[in-house]
Amino acid sequence: MANVVAFHAHPDDEVLMTGGTLARAAAEGHRVVIVVATDGEMGPSPEHGEPPRLAELRASAALLGAARVVHLGYADSGNGGVLHPDPPDRPRFVRADPDEAAERLAAILRTEQADVLLSYDANGGYGHRDHVKVHEVGRRAARLADVTLLLEATMPRDLVAALMRLVDRLRLPLRHDAVSRTAYSPRSAITHRVDVRRYAPQKQAALAAHRSQVHGTGRLAPVLRALVRLPAPLFGLVLGREWFVDSTGTSRSETVTGLFRPIGLSTAARGGVQGRGA
């Protein structure tokens, strides 16, 4: 059995990018831990209790089967042209010293004896400043903790472009001007495609647990509401695949293959992962 740590920027990212993979890993008996760099809040932490989005994350993590949730201690950096000053009680993640943040994450990886770290591709997906920082910090931490396998979550760039064209054609209320033509990863770079359709109900329920985002006024809220209302089979059709780039290096390829066959991250025969060109 493997110990899998998923490193994400904000609460709800764990569902959208890796929720099915985490649910599948947990269901197959592996230990799953979710680490978020930020608590998703722009302002000071509440005087009493934890930030609401962290509470939502814990509910989501329980639905996915995660054993532990950890917040690295940073504030949301926001997305846009303005980078606001740090809250009085913690720095924004984008301003964090990369070595310090990597050591915080590496300490968790060592404690968990992590075999696998899930992080983000070099573009941070669509380019959010906190997502790009996750990529940077994740790579440093993987080296510090000598993690066997680093898989960076992504999507095929051409698929994202097709989805954006569909959004325009249907005149859906989703701003996607921030999604550039170089966002996510080209298919040639993607090494793993995970079939998670069987875990669509869990993934959908975990997404619904992020009530502040689903029922909020953010630019993604209309799409999130639509997703949680879809029939589970249709949700699985839309979000039943998850993609990764293997950033471990070729020197450990044999070790990685042997380690991940039980999870289904290296064998198409089990209906899990397909190789390049997925």
Domain boundaries, the chain: 3-274
Residue 188 burial by CB count (10 A; 0-12/13-18/19+): exposed, middle or buried? exposed
Given a cut of 50, the residues of the chain with pLDDT beneath it are 178, 250-251, 253-278
How much is the pLDDT for 62? 98
pLDDT at 275: 40
Q: What pLDDT is attached to residue 41?
A: 94
Confidence at residue 43, expressed as pLDDT on a 0 to 100 scale: 94
Task: Say what the pLDDT of residue 179 is.
Answer: 53
Helix (H) or strand (E) run with residue 246 in it: strand 241-246
Closest among 221, 265, 216, 228 to 245, alpha carbons compared: 265
What's the pLDDT at 167?
62
Q: How far, in whole angstroms, is CA 278 from its chain's centroid?
A: 19
Does this model's pTM top 0.85? My answer is yes
200-208 and 13-27 helices cross at what angle (nearest 10)?
A: 140
Looking at the DSSP bridge assignments, the partners of residue 75 are: 92
Neighbour count for residue 51 (Cβ, 10 Å):
21
The CATH H-level superfamily of 3-274 is LmbE-like (3.40.50.10320)
Q: Which two tokens stand for residue 187?
A: 């298919």
